[in-house]
Amino acid sequence: MGAIGLCLGVETTLLPTGESEYTSCCVDDDQRFQAALSAHRDGDLARAETGYRDLLVGQPDQPALYVNLAAVRTTLGHPEEAVRLLEQALALAPEHTNAWSQLGVAYAALGRMDDAERAYGQAIARDERHVAALNNWALVCATRHHYDRARSLYERALAVDPANVSALGNFGAMLVDAGRLGDAEATLRRALALSPSDPGAHVNLANALTRRGRAIEALPHLVSGITNHGSDPSWHSNLLMTLHYPERPSRADIFGHHLRWARMRGVDRAPAGVHRGRTRREKLRIGYVSPDFRSHAVAFFIAPLLQAHDRSRFEIHGYASVQVEDAMTARLGATCDSWCNVFALGDDALVDRIRADGIDVLVDLAGHTAGNRLSALARNPAPVQMSYLGYPDTTGVAAIGYRLTDRWCDPPGSEAFHSETLLHVLGGLHCYEPPQDAPPVTSGPAARSGHLTFGSFNNTSKVSETVVARWARLLRAIPSSRMYMKFPTLTDPSTAAQYRGWFERQGIAAARVTLRGSTYSHGSHLADHAEVDVILDAFPYHGTTTTCEALWMGVPVLSLVGESHVSRVALSLLSQVGLERFAVGDETTLLERAADLASPSGHLELAALRATLRGTMATSPLCNGIGKARALEACFDWAWEAFERATPSR
C-alpha cells in the first residue's frame, strides 16, 4: 500500500516547483528590461509581466522576452499561454536552451509529462550542464516515481553545482517520496547548511522526520518554512496536517491553528449572495473534487459510493486534480456522468468550470492534504459545499458549510472545533471496498505456536517513540509475546535501526521484534497478516485503510480511543463490524484486554474471529456501498433544502 492512508498520514512529499530561468537579452531599452527582470526575481509578477509585455510590443523578435513572460504566466497558473509564448520563442531561436527548459516547466504544469521530458531532453542536448533543466527534469521523473532516473539527473546537476540548494532540496524531497528517509534527512540538512532559511528544505526535512515518527522534531521546521515563505498555503497546510500526529497540542489548539490559516489566507469569510435565485432541478448535481482520484486510499473508499449513487435523483460530476493519471483514475471517471481532469486549471478557471456545470453540492475530498483545491472552494463556486473523507479535521474555509462525519468520530461537542456544520452519515462515514486480490484467511501465530504476536501495519508517521513505549508496556506485561511491524519506510535501513533502538530503549530485545518493509504486491502485503494475532493501533492518529485490511484478513484491532477525530476512527470502524469491545478508553483497559487475549480463552476468541470476521464484515454497514450512498444522499438533500430555506428565490 502507499504511504498515505485514509484520513491521511503525512501528505505526499512537498516538491518545490523547480527553477525558472531569468533569461538575459540585448534590448533597446535595457533599463526597462532590468526593471522587469528585477521585479521577476523579487516575486512581483504583475510588474514583471507588464514590463515584458510592454517591451514585446516594440521588440517582438526577442526570444528571451517570450521565455521570461512564459515563466511568469506558468507561475501565475496559465501554462497553456506559456506554451504558446515558448513556441514563438523557439520559432525565432530553435537552439534557445532556456526556452526548451522553460517549455518543460510549462508542460509539467499541464500534466503533459512525456512532452515535459522531451523538452528537457532538448535543453540538455544543447547544454549538458544546464542545472535548471537537469533539476526540473529530475522533478518530473520523481513525480512519475521513476526514482532511479531522477536520482541520476539530480546527481548530474549537483556534479555541476554542488551548492545548488534547489537541486539538493528537490533531491531530498524525492528521497522522502522514495522511502530513502535516512539519505533524505542527510541531503536536506546539507541544503540547510548551505541556506539555513530555505523554506523548501525546511518543509521537506519536516516531511522526512514525520515519516520517521518524529513529528515533534518536524514542527519547528514547518514553522520556519512558513515564516520564510508564508505566501504558499500548501506549506501552512502541511503544518496543520502534521499537528495531528503528536499527543500534544490539544484539540482546541489545533482548531486555533486552522482558524489562523484561514485568516492569513483571507478565506475566513464566504462570498455573499453568489447563488441567489438557484432552485432545485429534477436531479441534484453533485461534484466531487480531489487530487487523489488515482491509486490512493481515498479513491478506494470513494469508488463504491460513486458507483452506487442513485442516478434517477443525482447527477455525478468528477473533478480530478491529478497530475499523473492511472487505472484507478480511468475507473472513477467511468462511474461519473461528467469527468474532467482539472490539474492544469488555475483557481479562476476551476471556479468558472464548476459554475458552468451548474453544480449544486460540491464535495471536497482533500482538506489540507497535498494537491488540495481549497483556494478555489473558498470562492464559493457551488451553493452547497462540503468536506468529506480525505482529511480528519475542519478546513477553516468559511465557504465550506458542512463536514461529513459520523457519531463515533465526532460525537456531540465536536461542533466547537469546526468552522463547518457537522452532518453525521448514518451508519458510519467510511465505505470499504474489499480487495479483489486478498488471499484466504489463515490461522494466526498464537494457534500455531502458542505465543501471541501483536502487529502494526500503520504508517510510521503515526508511530512515534511514545507509541513504541506504550506498545513496549504490553510486551513487558506479556513476556512470551512478540511484535511484528510492517510498513514501506521500514525498508530504509536507518529508519528500521531507529525503531529497533526505540524498542531496545524500552527493554524489548531485538529477537522479539520483527520489522518488515515493502512487499512485491498488495496481495502479498495482505498475506502478511498471517504473521499477527492482534493489530495494535497507533495513537493519537488511528489507522483506517490498515484497520479495514486487518479486519478483512480476520485480525482484530486493539485501539485506544481519544477525544478527537483522528483518535476515534477505529471506534467507528470496529463498531460497524460488532467489535467495539476492542476500542478501549484508557491504557489500563488496553493492558487488561491484551492480557485477556494472551490467555487460552483469548486464543480461542481470536481463532473464532479469524474464522468468521471476513463474512461478518462483508455483510456489515462498513462494506454496504448502496446503504452508504443512500446515507450520503440524505445529507445532500438535507443541506440543499437548508440552502433553499435560507435563500430567497429571487
User: How confident is the model at residue 31, as a pLDDT?
Assistant: 85
**Residues composing the chain:** 650
The amino acid that residue 528 corresponds to is D
Q: Which pLDDT score is estimated for 369? A: 94
pLDDT at 610: 97
Closest CA to 177 of 195, 154, 159: 154
User: For residue 597, what is its C-alpha cell?
Assistant: 487475549
Closest CA relative to residue 582, chosen from 603, 556, 563, 562:
556
Q: How far is CA 137 from the centre of its chain?
A: 23
User: Cell for 223?
Assistant: 514553522
251 contacts 278 by C-beta, under 8 angstroms:
no
- The list of the chain residues with pLDDT below 70 reads 1-29, 230-231, 273, 276-277, 648-650
Domains of the chain: 1-161 (1.25.40.10), 284-424 (3.40.50.11380), 445-622 (3.40.50.2000)
Q: What are the start-end ranges of the H helices in 112-214? A: 113-126, 131-143, 147-160, 165-177, 181-194, 199-211
pLDDT in tens, 230-271: 667 788 899 999 999 999 899 999 999 999 999 999 999 988
What is the radius of gyration, based on Cα positions, of the chain? Answer: 26
Separation between Cα atoms, residue 302 and residue 332, nearest integer Å: 9
d(CA 151, CA 157): 10
Task: Give residue 15's pLDDT.
Answer: 36
Distance (Å, whole) CA 208 – CA 332:
31
pLDDT for res 230: 61
**What is residue 226's predicted lDDT score, i.e. its pLDDT?**
84
